[in-house]
Each structure stands twice: as C-alpha cells, then as structure tokens.
Structure 1
Amino acid sequence: MGVLRLAHVDVRTPDLDLSTAYYSEVLGLSVVRRDDDVAYLKCWDEEDHHSLRLRYDSRIGLDSFTFRVEAEDDLHDLEKKLEAYGCAVRRVSRGEAVGQGESIRFEIPSGQTMELVWELEKTGNLLGKLNPAPMPPPTLPGIAPPRLDHMLINAEEVGESYAFFRDVLGFRMTEQVLDANNHQLGVWLERSHSPHDIAIVNGPNGAMHHFAFWLDDWDHVRKAADILAYNGVQIDQGPTRHGVTRGNTIYFFDPLGIRNEVFTGGYSPDPDFPAITWTEDQFGRGLFYYENVVAQRFLRFHT
C-alpha cells in the first residue's frame, strides 16, 4: 500500500510546437492529445493516458510531477499524513486534470509541486493484449523509449527532503552521497523496486535537474547517441556509466534547455537491500564511473 510509481511529469515550454516536435520525432513519444496550449505524450509500452505533459508558458521548467498510489484509500491516508506534517493539500476533482481521476496536490519541502493519484485513464500500449509482438514496429521515429523511468529534483536541504519522502510518503533510500560532516548531498529513493524512482541532489529549491526514460539495454543507449548526434541535439554527458545505481546513461537537452536522460541497467533492490553510501571525494566516480569527474554545468544547470 502507498505510493506505487512515477506516473507523469508536467513541464512548461515557451515554444510548444518545437517541444512537441522534439519529443515526438527525436525522442519518439506518441502525441496522445494536442490542444492550443498543452500537449500530452506517452511512450510506446505505457498503458496510461500520458507520461509527459507540455504546457505553453513564457517560463521554462517543471510544473509538477505525479506519482500513482497503489489503492484508492491511499489518497485519504496520505492526505492525513501530509496535513499532519504541515503541507497544504489541495484536492483535484475528477475531470479537472486530463487522463486521471481525483488527486491531491501539495508542495514538498524543497518547493516543487507534487501530485498523488490513484485512477489513471488506461489507453493501452502500442502492442495490444492479444498475441502481442515483443517489440514495437521498426517504423517508430526517434529513440522510442518504452517508458518513463525516474526524475531528479534539487533541494537546498537534502536531508530534510529525504526525511519527508521517507517518513510521510514511505520512500526507501537505495544510495546516498555524504559530505565530510555526514550531511547528505544527494539521495536516491525508490518505491518500485528499481534503483530509484526519484533522486534529490543539493541545489536550488523548486528546480528540476532532469527526467529520464528507460531503454532496454546498452545497445539501445548507443543507438540513442547516434540519433541524438544525427539530429544535432546537445549531449550533456555520456554515453557512460554511473557508479550510483550502476546504470548506463546519456544526458542531453531538449531544444528549450530541459535536461533529459535515457537510462538502462542498474539493479533490483530487495526489500531488505541496505543503502549504499558514497563519500563526497568519490562523487565524481559515483556519478560518472568511467570519467571520474563531473562537469560544473552538470551540477549547476537546472530548470
């Protein structure tokens, strides 16, 4: 019971046409619905209505992010825990948000808007449920990831944010980075038995570092790099490997400057998996294991 998985990420863009073209033609997501000021997209193996919402706004950045809960009663139980913590919780009525039923929205300690929802409109994946093929058609454009995987947000007080996600929302820490005084510089948290569903790293409150899509293997990461280079997309880091999570990765920017990632590999933490700790002097190797160094742009650029 409780929080189940990441459902969708909602971002702002000052050029909706350009952003929609990039995420559909280069990333290879399907446009589910397009209105005058908003577009909804999803990956080929996702059942929900959408996993990414693009909203026109003069400011670029994160609107909110949404996690699904396991049972309808979880919304009520978590609402009480959030209010006891001191969060102002707003109920969102069924039909107010496209593709989902009733939800609750609140501001987390680091300033981002988070949403919890149980009922999501199920529109099905591209393969269907009767004698499906094991892979999508080769005619899909772009990178074509099967699903949204995780996101990373920033917090000025990582320890405070970690305590909130642990004590109020029931997340479990898989890895952390500590400074010389044992203060947390970064934490990786999960609910879906993956290396992380969300990570929190030291930075300005309210900011998002990136959101990431899953790929099935390292060869798909290599192919993604070819597609990005062919389309002139600015690659930030990679292809390379993380020490933290053990995953393989590429980071890159969409045309308006939002950082994306494609990710594969990692481990499946058992329920009694002990958290891994990295020290600040090894943070470079933890983030980029092959290079053992982190560019300042990677640490300091947020949206």
Structure 2
Amino acid sequence: MGEGIMRLGFVSVNVTDLEAARKHYVEVMGMQMTDRTENEIYLKGWDEYDHHSIVLRQSNRAGLDKMAFKVHTYEDMEQLEKQLQQYGASVQRVSKGENHKVGEGLRFRLPSGHTMELFVEMEYKGKALPQVNPAPWPEGLIGVGAPRIDHLLITAERPHETVDFLMKALNFYMSEKVVENERSETPIAAWLFRSYTPHDIAIIPGKDEKLHHFAFWLDEFNELRKAGDVFSKHDVPIDVGIERHGITRGQTIYYFDPSGNRNEVFTGGYIAYPDMPVVKWTVDQLARGIFYFNHRQEWIEGFTGVTT
C-alpha cells in the first residue's frame, strides 16, 4: 500500500440560515469565502492552500452533511476502495466536479451512518502568504483569524464498530481510547489519526449520523484567549472553555454557530506517531480526560449529549 489517507480535506455542514452562517465563519472565525452558489458557501483558512476546507449548505436542519479525507494518490484510492469492499462497505464512485472544484473520488457510509468521501485532487487556491520569503502571518486577519480546520468528532451507537472500520478498512491509527477498566481493550470512544496530530477524527457514544463538533486549529494559547474575546464581543454562545483536555492534552473553547453546530478552537496537544502506544482512559476517570480543569460529571453529560 502507498501512503493512503493524508488528512481531513473538508467538512460539509448543514446550516439553517446561510447568511447568518456566512457572517459567523467569515466575520467571526476569519475564514476566506472562495466561492458561493445559491445554496452553498465555500471557505478556507488563511494557511490552507486547497480551494476550501468547509462547505456550508442551506438546509432545514443543522448537522453534518459529509466529511471528506484527502488521499495521496489515485493508486492509494484504488487500494482503499478494495479494502472498503473487502470490509463490506458499499462504495460509490464520485465523478470529477460532482463536488465543486474537487476531482473524482469515493463515497461510502461508516457503520455509524455518516457519509465519508475520499479524494485526491482539489483546485489549488494558495495561502494568504507568498510561497517565497513569507511573513509568519498575513495582514488584515478578521476576528479569530483561524488558519485551518483540524479535526471532527462524531457520535455512534456502537462506537467500536466505526473505530474498527476506520482502522481496518482505511488504515487509521489510534492515539487514545476510553475503556471500561484497565484490563479492557474494546473502545467505548477513540481518537484516530492519519496526519501527525492526536486526532483527525474521534468517535464517542451517541446517536448514529450525528456531529458533536468540528474544530479549528490555533497556533498558540494566546490566540485561544483572543478567540474567547472575539466570541464574547460577537455574542457567540460559548459552550465550554477555556479548558484543557486530558485526552490529547489540547487546550480548547467550544462554542456554537448560528445554526447550533458546535465548533471548537483547539491548540496544543502532541505530535502523534503511528508506532506510539495507545493511551487508555478508564471510564471512572473519563470526566478528567474530557475536561482536566473542571471534571464535574454533570458538565460532561450535557457536553457529550448535545449534537446536531
């Protein structure tokens, strides 16, 4: 097998008011709008070079439309198609242009019912910085000025089935998992990666086909604090934060877009390697794993229970 999946490519999200969503993601988060149609808006961060990393879709309900992961080569995609079929997945071919500015790909459903796609090529847009002798950041950033998307977290009624699928059919690695006790191995929840971060996707217990959040990367803790200021200034509903995760060690603020989709700004964490041992969290310590500072159980149930 070649290199396989490289990273999270884009997240397509349903929103109930496209103009309110545009204001949130462009004027608060500082994303660049690269295109729009009557029912869709395409966005990228200033440090992303592909045409888009987020698609906002006008819909009568919020939640995840689909997630798409970028693959190194078409040979890799063919190999992954075989693995998916061996694993019993029903795989559809996606033709070039079916996704705006994206080349051909594959579409299938996870055991949790979420739609996932793989693609190799997307139209190149370029960063907000030059490729020769760039400054550390561009002038004129708006609001949070998020450089890029980072990961997403979904819910599943039988999380271990989706975790198993992602690891066996798509070669994801596991960084951390929640188990019943120290002797247990079956994941109740898991954090999986293909790039170099603690997670490109995570799966926790909950309803099938639901989105818990998708996250924006920030380069350092001071930017997280500034994001909190920006959210307060714009009356963005903050869910939790500033907090620290025991799982991934990241620092975080969770908040909601105008349709009720949960977002996260995330920094810190560690570099993940395919050969590193998996970190286990036992259920009795899960509250500390989720929010290391303020691990009150009643918080956690509200936090994990709200999805779109």
Identify which of 63, 68, 71 aligns with 2:70. 68
Identify which of 245, 248, 251 aligns with 2:251. 248
Structure-2 separation of matches of 1:68 and 1:271: 18
Structure-2 separation of matches of 1:273 and 1:59: 40
TM-score, normalised via structure 1 length: 0.97
Name the counterpart of 2:128. 126
Q: Point out where structure 2 has 5 or more consecutive residues left out of the alignment.
A: none
What is the aligned residue count? 302
What letter corresponds to residue 105 of structure 2 in structure 1?
A: S
Name the counterpart of 1:85. 87
Give runs of aligned pairs for residues 27-106 of structure 1, distance below 5 A: 27-106=29-108
Identify which of 286, 296, 301 aligns with 2:289. 286
Pair 1:155-2:156 in alignment: yes
Name the counterpart of 1:263. 266
**C-alpha displacement of 1:162:** 1.0
Identify which of 291, 302, 306 aligns with 1:297. 302
**C-alpha displacement of 1:131:** 2.2
Asked if the contact 1:2–1:69 (Cα under 8 Å) also holds between the matched residues in 2, the reply is yes
Identify which of 188, 193, 198 aligns with 1:190. 193
Structure-2 separation of matches of 1:158 and 1:34: 35
Give runs of aligned pairs for residues 9-28 of structure 1, distance below 5 A: 9-28=11-30
Identity %: 47
**C-alpha displacement of 1:239:** 0.5
1:271–1:84 CA distance, 2 compared to 1 (3 A)? closer
Structure-1 separation of matches of 2:136 and 2:59: 39
What letter corresponds to residue 241 of structure 2 in structure 1?
A: G
What letter corresponds to residue 126 of structure 1 in structure 2?
A: A
Cα deviations by residue, 1:111-159 (Å, 9 ceiling, x for unpaired): 000000011111101002122211121x221101111100000111111
Structure-2 separation of matches of 1:101 and 1:272: 32
Identify which of 213, 217, 240 aligns with 1:214. 217
Identify which of 189, 212, 233 aligns with 1:230. 233
Structure-1 separation of matches of 2:100 and 2:87: 29
The range that moved more, 91-100 or 253-262, is 91-100
Structure-2 separation of matches of 1:241 and 1:35: 38
The range that moved more, 14-23 or 182-191, is 182-191
Cα deviations by residue, 1:242-269 (Å, 9 ceiling, x for unpaired): 0000000000000110000000001112
Name the counterpart of 1:274. 277
Q: Secondary structure at the match of 1:229?
A: helix
Q: What's the C-alpha RMSD, in Å, of the aligned pairs? A: 1.1
Structure-2 separation of matches of 1:185 and 1:293: 20
**C-alpha displacement of 1:293:** 2.3
Structure-2 separation of matches of 1:136 and 1:192: 25
What letter corresponds to residue 111 of structure 1 in structure 2?
A: G
What letter corresponds to residue 289 of structure 1 in structure 2?
A: Y
Asked if the contact 1:110–1:156 (Cα under 8 Å) also holds between the matched residues in 2, the reply is yes
Structure-1 separation of matches of 2:120 and 2:259: 31
Asked if the contact 1:176–1:187 (Cα under 8 Å) also holds between the matched residues in 2, the reply is yes
Asked if the contact 1:72–1:119 (Cα under 8 Å) also holds between the matched residues in 2, the reply is no
Structure-1 separation of matches of 2:176 and 2:272: 11
Q: Secondary structure at the match of 1:244?
A: coil
Name the counterpart of 1:136. 138
